[in-house]
Amino acid sequence: MAPTDGGTEFLLESAADEVRAKLPASAVHFQTAREVLPGGTSRARFWWPIPIYLEHGSGAHVTDIDGNQYIDCNLGFGSMILGHRHPAVESALAQQLSRGLFFGAATTSELTLAELLVEYVPGAERIIFNNSGSEATGAALRIARAATGREKIAKFEGGWHGITENLVHSYTSVGGMPELPAVIPEMPGIPAAVSATTIVLPFNDRRAFDIMKREADDLACVIVEPVQGGAGAMPAHREFLHELRQLCTDLGVLLVMDEVITGFRVGPRSGSGYYGVTGDLVTLGKILGGGLPVGAVCGRADLIDVTLPVLAHERPARRPVNVTGTFSGNPMTTVAGYAQLATLLDDQDSYSRLAALGDQLRDGLAAALADLGIAAHVTGIGSIWGLHFSASEPSSVRDKQRDNQTASRLLAAYLLAEGVLMSAPVHLSFVSTAHDSADIDAVLAAHRRALARMKEEGCI
């Protein structure tokens, strides 16, 4: 039985005090940093009750400014698939640094990385680089609108695609009927006119297709994650994605596969290859940069080519779509990204090892929950996993509305005390090639102790 409101407040306050006591240097730094950085860091929303400030990392482990070491299950929100300080990535960065940090003019390393993407990403004929996953998804929408001449875009309830204004709707909030979700801006500052061009669809639900058919004449694209990260590693159903692909083709609506999280994480051909679905456009980020800021849009040549610059003397009939910035395709990012991807792809066993570690973790967590008699469910594929304190197995963010949010907060805090680093309240976690079976056993043991404590306290 869950504690009363007073008991919940006491548990949260006690956990917050425990975290601050474990992180005295982080607590002091937080008080100073919050004077100029809201929440003490630009990533405040992922850490509770205070940010943990890290000093260094190596392999599967990180160390904070208090000297505490953790098994890292956050991994730069999935970016560090080889773990921290991999020699190949460090060597590539050192060599580029000796030649120059940044020029503004093009360098050959951009082509080297782009050719690798064309080889491995399904449907990628052309590539254009950005500086973040948010930039990439925003660019994909702009390209889709320019290519189709239509204004509306559709996203799925629970889908987090970055901070582009059309996309910051209905990723945690749900409203309306399940078959017709409400379009809910998740924050102030979103113009009503933007919300009016956004359509929200139910995830893993064929009733989404009825909405698409009604809106097809004005619909430029549908954007979907193979695994919804913001919903806590919520995989798409295979048959649902296949039917979505076919319907987009039939309606002349572009399909944007958002692979910022799943790109090169769930297999050498990313989520598109894992599910056997090819998008018209594919967005990438995270792993693509080797730990540096990066984004990219891949896809059909005729679509990406709407970004081609036009020379003044050509008197063009069209105007090009601009989706890049100063640091797009910069040499430090492209050499680091290529080094990470080449290392990963050259090892024929890397993805089987990652999947085995992911299975070990998910199966071990499910066993721990069953042994402890806790109503919770584990989701994810490959080296991605999430934990949900829900009575039934969720397949969409709408299924998670009754999740025990107190438990989600407490678990991350108690795992921190056990030497495991993960973000909260959304439990979206990862493993890397630097993790081994012993690391996973340690993570599972930490979960067992934390979950048993939570049950004893009456939180779950």
- Which residue, chain included where needed, has tokens 């909030």? 173
- Predicted TM-score (pTM) above 0.85: yes
Give the list of residues 6+ apart from residue 274 with CB closer than 8 angstroms, or none: 226, 262, 266, 267, 381, 382
Give the list of residues 6+ apart from residue 149 with CB closer than 8 angstroms, or none: none
pLDDT value of position 310: 74
Which residues on adjacent β-strands are paired with residue 75?
A: none
Give the list of residues 6+ apart from residue 359 with CB closer than 8 angstroms, or none: none
pLDDT value of position 460: 87
3-state secondary structure the chain: CCCCHHHHHHHHHHHHHHHHHHCHHHHHHHHHHCCCCHHHCCCHHHCCCCCCCEEEEEECEEEECCCCEEEECCCCCCCCCCCECCHHHHHHHHHHHHHCCCCCCCCCHHHHHHHHHHHHCCCCCEEEEECCHHHHHHHHHHHHHHHHCCCEEEEECCCCCCCCHHHCECCCCCCEECCEECCCECCCCCCHHHHCCEEEECCCCCHHHHHHHHHHHHEEEEEECCEECCCCCEECCHHHHHHHHHHHHHHCCEEEEECCCCCCCCCCCHHHHHHCCCCCEEEEEHHHHCCCCCEEEEECHHHHHHHCCCCHHHCCCCCCCCCCCCCCCCHHHHHHHHHHHHHHHHCCCHHHHHHHHHHHHHHHHHHHHHHHCCCCEEECCCCEEEEECCCCCCCCHHHHCCCCHHHHHHHHHHHHHCCEECCCCCCCEECCCCCCHHHHHHHHHHHHHHHHHHHHCCCC
CB contact at 8 A, 412 and 48? yes
Cα distance between residue 111 and residue 96, in whole Å:
15
State the pairing for strand pair 176-177/180-181: antiparallel
Cα distance between residue 296 and residue 288, in whole Å:
8
Low pLDDT (below 70) residues in the chain: 1-6, 311-318
Question: What is the dihedral sign for C-alpha 76, 78, 83, 89?
Answer: negative
State the pairing for strand pair 384-388/429-430: antiparallel
Domains of the chain: 5-84+349-456 (3.90.1150.10), 87-346 (3.40.640.10)
pLDDT value of position 440: 98
